[in-house]
Amino acid sequence: MAAVTRRPNSAPADDAGVSPPDDVGVPRVGDPAVSPPDDVGAVARLLGRPPAGSFAVVVRRVDGTPAVIENEPWLDDGTPMPTRYWLVDRAVRAAVSRLESSGGVRRAAAAVPADAVADAHARYASGRGDLADAVVRRAGRAPGPVPAGGVGGTRQGVKCLHAHVAWYLAGGDDPVGAWAASEIDLDRSAFTGGRAAR
């Protein structure tokens, strides 16, 4: 069904963003297939360094360039990876960074009801927990401490718009990601997979 890219040891990038379990046809971390080797190089170029663990490209630009990756819950060295969905698209990352630098996190926290944000964090954490359980079943053990927290590794409030936009693009029902995407006039027709496929 999907492509998973296995990476040798390296280090994580800046923060980014969960496709819901019913996203049939969207690549998922933990699938047994191996993604095209070009994905590792493309993601490394977008991050500016090699990825630190296994991932699947879940959203691409229409030209095939990776835009959002889904990380396994642990990096190759067993370090917990709290950010399940990571925004690797340079243009969207830059637009979200500009939004954050102009007070976007504070504005998002004011615009999106706190109970909706808390619900999003709980759903994100639950989805990553399900993925962690699948990794443990496959490997026979947890490679390290189990990652905790919601979107961007936090349990409450708004921390990182990159993480929210990544989850939103990947198909997650993230009200903060939807707000941020609207603020930057994100054109979903430029992407395939995740929410763009709907």
Phi–psi pair at 175, nearest 5 degrees: -65, -30
Which residue's structure tokens are 């990544």?
Answer: 166
Of 89, 72, 91, residue with least CA distance to 81: 72
Residue 42: predicted pLDDT: 93
What average pLDDT does this structure show over 54-76? Answer: 93
Q: How many CA atoms lie within 13 A of 36 on its CB side?
A: 10
User: Distance between CA atoms of 140 and 73, rounded to whole angstroms?
Assistant: 15
Provide the percentage of residues in the chain whose pLDDT is more than 90. Answer: 63
Summarize pLDDT for 76-131 with one digit per residue, the tens: 999 999 899 999 999 999 999 999 999 999 999 999 999 999 999 999 999 999 99
pTM over 0.85: no
- Per-residue pLDDT band for 196 (boundaries 50, 70, 90) equals low
Boundaries of every domain in the chain: 37-197
What average pLDDT does this structure show over 154-175? Answer: 93
Residue predicted with more confidence, 13 or 133? 133
Q: Report yes or no: 68 and 59 within 8 Å, Cβ to Cβ.
A: yes
